């Protein structure tokens, strides 16, 4: 894969997050200047505590309390070539807000729009936006999602991300700034949380899992593969003003995923079969229907456009990616 990027000044929002830390380290290793936008509680010592190889120490830390309609970005955008906008109000399992869509829009739509407008005025050349495959839908359709499928966001988070995509495109249409929109599925890797972490814990505990006969297919993307894509889109000419669905390219069933995780732990998986109607009954009984759907439902991505336009291939295979993720998890358990 040809590298197009000369050294650039890059503003990364959400820099202290799961994707942000890995991206900032990679950008610095590639020789770019990084202005890392973090919340005020992320001190230099906290920032460096995530930095075992001292890869992050060269980043310029800048602080923003909230990303909203009134956020002033002008000074932070001086001499910036590219923005990678990762910061977002993320999907919350137990949303307590009376009007969750309004809360998601405040950050994900209005905050993104405000940053994009000021970036265009400041002469930023490219704005890379990390969206979500949830804009396309929740899966279980008859085909793998593509960029041409009509969006079907089904919750406030996904709606706000879809609206932010449209707002960014409008700003870029009215200016010389280019956009790149990336829609990833589940992102896993060192430091992953949520359902993926729960699954690793269950496998480590040798918990019997009744998922042997589940033949679903789910796309995922390894953190370092996603970072590789972002690096590729910094100034690739064929990435300009494009939307890409991104994934590792190898889809797994839940049973395959559990088996690979177990193998990486040096274990055999404790999978057994249970009729699907029994699984559904138990999920309803314990009010875990949505959890079961995420485990057993299918959600596939066709990332041929990314591969064709950018000549991108995943540098790390899914099996090796899972080994690295599990190794990192086990190392954390020892501490």
Q: What is the pLDDT of residues 200-254, one digit of tens each?
A: 999 999 999 999 999 999 999 999 999 999 999 999 999 999 999 999 999 999 9
Domain boundary assignment for the chain: 9-189+221-247+301-315
Helix/strand/coil for 83: strand
Q: What is the pLDDT of residue 68?
A: 85
CA dist., res. 199 & res. 97, Å (int): 28
Q: What letter would DSSP give residue 130?
A: E
Residue given tokens 């029994």 in the structure block = 278
Specify whether 329 is catalytic: no
Catalytic residue of the set 145, 157, 179, 329: 157
Residue with tokens 């950008």: 27
Q: Which residues of the chain have pLDDT under 70?
A: 1-5, 45, 48-55, 91-97, 335
pLDDT in tens, 90-100: 866 455 667 88
Q: CA-CA distance, 235 to 244, in Å (whole number)?
A: 15
- State the Cα–Cα distance between residues 112 and 87, nearest whole angstrom: 9
Q: Are 264 and 326 in contact (CB under 8 A)?
A: yes
Can you read off the two tokens belonging to residue 36?
Answer: 């890392």
Question: What's residue 96's pLDDT?
Answer: 64
Q: Is the dihedral of CA 218, 222, 227, 228 positive or negative?
A: negative
Q: What's this model's pTM, rounded to 2 decimal places?
A: 0.93
Domain covering 9-189+221-247+301-315: architecture: 3-Layer(aba) Sandwich (3.40)
H or E element that contains 63: strand 60-63
- Give SS3 for 318: helix
Residues 38/21, Cβ–Cβ less than 8 Å: no
Bridge partners of residue 252, in order along the sequence: 218
Determine the Cα–Cα distance for residues 61 and 40; give it in Å rounded to an integer.
10
Question: What's the token pair of residue 186?
Answer: 């589940």
DSSP state of 213: T
Q: SS3 helix, strand, coil % of the chain, rounded to 5?
A: 45, 15, 45
For residue 123, which of 225, 229, 11, 42 has the smallest C-alpha distance? 11
């Amino acid at each position: 894969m040809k590298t197009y990027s000369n050294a650039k000044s890059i503003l990364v929002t959400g820099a202290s997050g799961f994707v942000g830390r890995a991206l900032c380290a990679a950008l610095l290793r590639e020789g770019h200047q990084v202005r890392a936008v973090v919340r005020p509680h992320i001190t230099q010592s906290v920032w460096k505590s995530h930095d075992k190889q001292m890869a992050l120490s060269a980043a310029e830390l800048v602080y923003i309390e909230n990303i909203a309609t009134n956020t002033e970005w002008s000074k932070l955008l001086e001499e910036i070539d590219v923005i990678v906008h990762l910061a977002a109000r993320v999907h919350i399992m137990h949303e307590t807000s009376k009007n969750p869509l309004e809360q998601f829009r405040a950050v994900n739509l209005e905050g993104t729009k405000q940053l994009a407008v000021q970036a265009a005025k400041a002469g930023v050349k490219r704005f890379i936006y990390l969206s979500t495959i949830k804009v396309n839908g929740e899966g279980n359709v008859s085909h793998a999602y593509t960029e041409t499928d009509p969006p079907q966001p089904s919750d406030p988070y996904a709606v706000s991300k879809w609206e932010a995509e449209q707002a960014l495109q409008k700003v870029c249409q009215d200016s010389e700034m280019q956009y790149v929109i990336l829609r990833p599925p589940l992102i896993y890797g060192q430091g992953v949380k949520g359902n993926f972490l729960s699954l690793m814990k269950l496998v480590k505990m040798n918990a019997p899992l009744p998922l042997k006969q589940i033949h679903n297919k789910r796309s995922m993307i390894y953190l370092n593969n996603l970072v590789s894509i972002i690096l590729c889109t910094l100034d690739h000419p064929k990435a300009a003003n494009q939307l890409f669905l991104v994934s590792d390219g190898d889809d797994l069933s839940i049973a395959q995923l559990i088996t690979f995780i177990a193998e990486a732990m040096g274990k055999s998986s404790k999978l057994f079969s249970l009729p699907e109607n029994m699984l559904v009954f138990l999920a309803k009984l314990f009010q875990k229907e949505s959890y079961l759907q995420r485990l057993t439902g299918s959600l596939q991505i066709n990332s041929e456009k990314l591969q064709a336009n950018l000549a991108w291939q995943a540098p790390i295979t899914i099996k090796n990616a899972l080994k690295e993720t599990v190794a990192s998890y086990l190392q954390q358990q020892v501490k």
